[in-house]
Structure 1
Amino acid sequence: MLQQLFSDMIKQDVKLFLSKCGFTQKSLNFYKKTESLIYMFNFQKSSGNSADNVMFYVNCSIYAAQLAQIQSREIVTAPKEAECHFRARIGEIVESVPDRFSITLDTNMDDLRKTLLSGLEEAIHFFDTMTSSRSIVDYYTSGPFLHLSEENFHLLLQSNDVAAAKNYLKALQEKYGTEKRWPILENKYNAIFIKYGVEFDKL
């Protein structure tokens, strides 16, 4: 019964809303393609679901062909969530919604639909600010995050933005430089800098 409520909500409310925003559905994935990026919403059911509690997550992802090329990976047209380059739970980019949704016998479905659709609308506004591979790189370098760090350096140095690459390196050194894994990461980054003929500033 609760599973049916979830399925009906996806089929009726979510599909209708996202199709109006230019997304097409494939199973529990919704895609919107531009020339250089593929935006994706993935509805992931929890492995801990039961007859009286259906939980699910909304993953917000962006796939960039340019970053896939840097990774020497085959370009795909309908990426899986794990193949995307930007990846976040909806709660990470939209503060007003939870990371995990839950449907129980006591759930007010109207309220849940309203919260979910409002969250999707806000997430689409966030997607609108991510217009290129560089947008994804800028997001992760501003953290600074280790996610995609090698790809980030490749893209920055390919585009001859040495200043941004060095600023990102310095920020990573300050954040992760005392960790045991840092020498391994540093060697990888050093090799990338050498490839582009750029001096590498060690800690």
Structure 2
Amino acid sequence: MLQQLFNDMIKQDVKPFLSKRGFAKKSLNFHKRTESLIYMFNFQKSAGNAADNVMFYVNCGIYAAEFAQIQSRELLTAPQEAECHFRARIGEIVESAPDRFSITPDTNMDDIRETLLSGLEEVIHFYDTMTSARSIVDYYSSGPYLHLAEESFHLLLQSKDVVAAKHYWKSLQEKYGKEKRWSIFENKYSAIFNKYGVEFDER
């Protein structure tokens, strides 16, 4: 019964909403392609679902062909969420969205629909600001985050933006430099900088 409510919401609400905005559905994945990026939403059902509680997550992803080439991987036309270069749960992008949605016998489906569609709309506005692989680099370097750092250094140094690459390294060093694992990352980053003939003073 509750599973059917979830299925109906995907079919009757989510699919038309995202189709109008250029997303094509395949199973519980929705993709929208541009020349260099693929934007996607993935609806992931929780492993802990029961007859009286259907829970699901909304995963957001952006796949960049430029990063796939840096990683020497085959270019994909319909990537899974785990294969995307930018990855986040909807709640990480939209403050008003829950990390996990839940449908129970007491759930007001109009409320959950409104929250979900409003959240998807906000993510699409966020996607509109992410127009290239460099946008993804800027997002992760602003954190700064370790995720995708190696690929980001390659992209920055290939485009000869040495200033941004050094700033990203320094920010990561300040955030993670006291952790035992930092030396592993530092060695990897040094090798990338050396590849492009760029020296970096680690002190």
Q: TM-score, normalised by structure 2?
A: 0.99
1:125 aligned residue: 125
Shift of 1:200: 1.9
RMSD between superposed Cα atoms in Å:
0.5
2:69 aligned residue: 69
1:107 aligned residue: 107
Report the secondary structure of 2:75's partner residue. Answer: coil
1:180 aligned residue: 180
Report the secondary structure of 1:57's partner residue. Answer: strand
Report the secondary structure of 2:73's partner residue. Answer: coil
Percent identical pairs in the alignment equals 81
d(CA) in 2 for partners of 1:22 and 1:37? 13
1:24 aligned residue: 24
d(CA) in 1 for partners of 2:21 and 2:118? 13
d(CA) in 2 for partners of 1:113 and 1:83? 28
d(CA) in 1 for partners of 2:201 and 2:13? 52
Amino acid aligned to 1:156:
L
Spell out, residue by residue over 1:91-134, the C-alpha distance to the aligned partner (whole angstroms, 9 max, x if none).
00001110100000000001100110000000000000000000
**Gaps spanning 5+ residues in structure 1: where?**
none
In the alignment of these two chains, the number of paired residues is 203
Alignment of 1:1-203 (within 5 A): 1-203=1-203
d(CA) in 2 for partners of 1:177 and 1:99? 30
d(CA) in 2 for partners of 1:37 and 1:161? 21
d(CA) in 1 for partners of 2:123 and 2:202? 38
d(CA) in 1 for partners of 2:126 and 2:185? 30
Report the secondary structure of 2:30's partner residue. Answer: strand
Shift of 1:39: 0.2
Amino acid aligned to 2:180:
K
d(CA) in 1 for partners of 2:121 and 2:201? 43
d(CA) in 2 for partners of 1:116 and 1:33? 22
Report the secondary structure of 1:156's partner residue. Answer: helix
Superposed structure 1 runs of 4+ greater than 6 Å apart: none
Q: TM-score, normalised by structure 1?
A: 0.99
d(CA) in 2 for partners of 1:122 and 1:173? 32
d(CA) in 2 for partners of 1:169 and 1:116? 37
Shift of 1:11: 0.6
Shift of 1:201: 1.9
**Gaps spanning 5+ residues in structure 2: where?**
none
